[in-house]
Amino acid sequence: MTIAEYSLGPPMRPPIHHDNGFLDKLPARSPTASDYRTLGSWIGLLETGEAGQGVPFLPHNDIPDGLAAYRHFLFGNGMDRQFSYERYIANDPSGSITLENAIADAQEGALWLYLENYGSGDALFYMTGSAIPVGSGDKKFSVRFPYPLTENWQKAIGFHVIWISASVVAKSSGNDILFTMDFTLHAEDRFNFNPGATDIATGIPDSANGIFEVTGLAHQYMNYSILKRKVSWQNDVTSSPNAAESVSRSRDRQPQDNRRIRNRR
C-alpha cells in the first residue's frame, strides 16, 4: 500500500500547509535596542561557526548547510532558497532512506495506475502524488521517511515535505511488464523557528531566534529542491513491484556555495 495517493496527470503540487512559527503566536512589533544587541551576538556566533567549519576538534564543525540556511534567515529578506537534496541523501542516512522509500512508493503507485487504467499492453502516462511528511512524529510515516539524523541537516531542513511526479513507459511481454520511470522528487520546507521547540544538538530554545521573526530583524523563508532519477524494473502484473534498479538520470549540482565561509543565497 502506498503512502502517497497517485493520480494520472502532469506534475501538480499538492496542498501543503506550512506554519509561520512565532508569527502564528505573537503579534509583530518593532525591535528594541536589546533586540539589536541580541541579533549582533547571533551574527557573531554565525561568523564563528562558519570560520570553524572543517577545523578538527572544534564543536559543530561540519554543519555547512545548516549555517547557510541560518545565514539566509538573517540576511535573505524572506526570499525563497534552493538547496540540494542530492547533498542530503549523500550525507545523511535518513536522506538515503527517504529516497529509497520514495522510489518504492512511486513504483507501487505506477503499477496500480497501470493496472487500473490500462490493464495490459504498452502504455505511456504521467503521474503525480500527494504530500509525504518527512520527519513526522507519526510512525506511519517516520519509519519510511525519518527525521534527519545529522546535526547539519536537522538545522538545514529538519521536518520537511516531499511529493513525487513521474513519467512512466510500460512495455508488455506476456504477464511481464518492463517499467521505465523518470522520477522527480519535489522537496520543500519553511525555515523558521517554533514556540516550545528546542535545537536538538545544543538545546537552545527556538525562542532565542523566533524573536527575530516577530521584530522583522530576520525572516522565515521557503526552501525548495528537486531531485531526479531514472528507474527501471520488471514486474509480473499479478504481483507487487519488484525491487527496482535505480539509475541516475539528472543529478542536482551539489552546490559548492554550501561549503563557502559565506553563503548569501
Averaged pLDDT, 152-178: 95
Q: Assess whether pLDDT exceeds 70 at residue 252.
A: no
Q: For 44, phi and psi rounded to 5 degrees?
A: -60, -40
Residue 29 counted as domain residue? yes
DSSP summary character for residue 258 = G
Answer with the residue of higher pLDDT: 258 or 107.
107
Residue 10 counted as domain residue? yes
Residue 259 counted as domain residue? no
User: Which pLDDT score is estimated for 120?
Assistant: 86
Question: Where does the pLDDT of residue 119 fall: very low under 50, low under 70, confident under 90, or very high at 90 and above?
Answer: confident
Residue 200 counted as domain residue? yes
What distance in Å separates the CA atoms of residue 79 and residue 48, rounded to the nearest whole number? 24
pLDDT tens string 52-92: 999 999 999 999 999 999 999 999 999 999 999 999 999 99
Residue 183 counted as domain residue? yes
Residue 93 counted as domain residue? yes
Nearest in space to 87 (alpha carbons), one of 65, 61, 54, 60: 65
Q: How many CB atoms lie within 10 A of CB 153?
A: 26
C-alpha distances (whole Å) from 157 to each of 40, 44, 164, 183, 189 are 24, 22, 18, 22, 6
User: Which pLDDT score is estimated for 257?
Assistant: 44
Q: Which domain holds residue 181?
A: 6-236
Residue 40 counted as domain residue? yes
Please state the pTM of the whole predicted model: 0.90
C-alpha distances (whole Å) from 172 to each of 124, 169, 176, 223 are 12, 10, 6, 40
Q: What percent of the chain has pLDDT over 90?
A: 84
Nearest in space to 184 (alpha carbons), one of 242, 102, 74: 102
pLDDT tens string 202-243: 999 999 999 999 999 999 999 999 999 999 999 886 665 554
Q: Assess whether pLDDT exceeds 70 at residue 263.
A: no
User: Which pLDDT score is estimated for 240?
Assistant: 59
Nearest in space to 192 (alpha carbons), one of 146, 151, 163, 160: 160
User: Which pLDDT score is estimated for 241?
Assistant: 59
Report how many domains make up the chain.
Answer: 1
Nearest in space to 193 (alpha carbons), one of 70, 47, 71, 83: 70
Percent composition of the chain: helix, strand, coil (DSSP 3-state, to 5): 35, 25, 40
What distance in Å separates the CA atoms of residue 100 and residue 119, rounded to the nearest whole number? 27
**Per-residue cell: 46:** 554565525
Average pLDDT, the chain: 91
Longest Cα–Cα distance in the chain: 75
Residue 254 counted as domain residue? no
User: Which pLDDT score is estimated for 265?
Assistant: 33
Nearest in space to 215 (alpha carbons), one of 42, 66, 69, 47: 42
Strands 160-173 and 132-134 come out as antiparallel
Q: Assess whether pLDDT exceeds 80 at residue 21.
A: yes
Averaged pLDDT, 2-28: 97
DSSP summary character for residue 198 = B
Q: Assess whether pLDDT exceeds 50 at residue 255.
A: no
Averaged pLDDT, 110-123: 94
Averaged pLDDT, 251-262: 42
Q: Assess whether pLDDT exceeds 50 at residue 30.
A: yes
Q: Assess whether pLDDT exceeds 70 at residue 168.
A: yes
Q: How many CB atoms lie within 10 A of CB 71?
A: 19
